[in-house]
Amino acid sequence: MAPSNTGSTDGGSTPASTSGPSTADRDPSTVDRDPSAVDPPGVHPVDQLLPPVRLLTSGLQHVAAMYAGVVAPPLIVGAGVGLSPAELALLISASLFTAGLATLLQTIGVWRIGARLPFVNGVSFAGVAPMIAIAKEHGPKDALPVIFGAVIVAGTLCLFAAPYFCKLIRFFPPVVQGTVITLIGVSLLPVAVNWARGGSPGAPGYGSPRAIGLAALTLGAVVLGNRLLRGFWQQVSLLVGLAVGTLLAFPLGLADFGAVHEARVFALPSPFHFGAPIFDAAAIASLCIVMVVSMTESTADMLALGRIVDREADERTLAAGLRADGLATAVSPVFNGFAASAFAQNIGLVALTGIRSRFVVATGGGLLVLLGLFPVLGALVSLVPQPVLGGAGIVLFGTVAASGIRTLAEAGLDSGANTLLVSVSLGIGIVPIAAPTFYDAFPEAARTLLHSGISAGCVAAVLLNLLFHHLGTPRRAATEAPPGTAVPTATPSPS
Instruction: Write out pLDDT tens, residues 137-162.
Output: 788 888 999 999 999 999 999 999 99
CB 303 within 8 A of CB 280: no
CB 4 within 8 A of CB 15: yes
**Sequential DSSP letters for 348-389:** HHHHHH----HHHHHHHHHHHHHHHH-HHHHHHHTTS-HHHH
Q: What pLDDT score was predicted for residue 130?
A: 79
Give me the chain's average pLDDT, please.
81
CB-count burial class (<10 Å; 0-12, 13-18, 19+) for 304: buried
pTM here? 0.71
**DSSP-derived 3-state class of residue 433:** helix
Distance CA 58, CA 357 (A): 10
Q: What pLDDT score was predicted for residue 480?
A: 45
Between 414 and 214, where is the model more confident? Answer: 214
**DSSP-derived 3-state class of residue 201:** coil
E strands, 256-381, in order = 340-342
Confidence of residue 41 (pLDDT cuts 50, 70, 90): low
**Mean pLDDT, to the nearest integer, of 178-192?**
83
> What is the length of the chain?
495
CB 181 within 8 A of CB 403: yes
Number of alpha carbons in the 13 Å side-chain half-sphere of residue 373 = 8
CB 295 within 8 A of CB 158: yes
Q: What pLDDT score was predicted for residue 145?
A: 95
Domain boundaries, the chain: 45-476
CB 407 within 8 A of CB 183: no
CB-count burial class (<10 Å; 0-12, 13-18, 19+) for 422: buried
Encode pLDDT of 235-264 as tens digits.
778 888 888 998 999 888 887 776 667 667
CB-count burial class (<10 Å; 0-12, 13-18, 19+) for 66: buried
Distance CA 360, CA 366 (A): 10
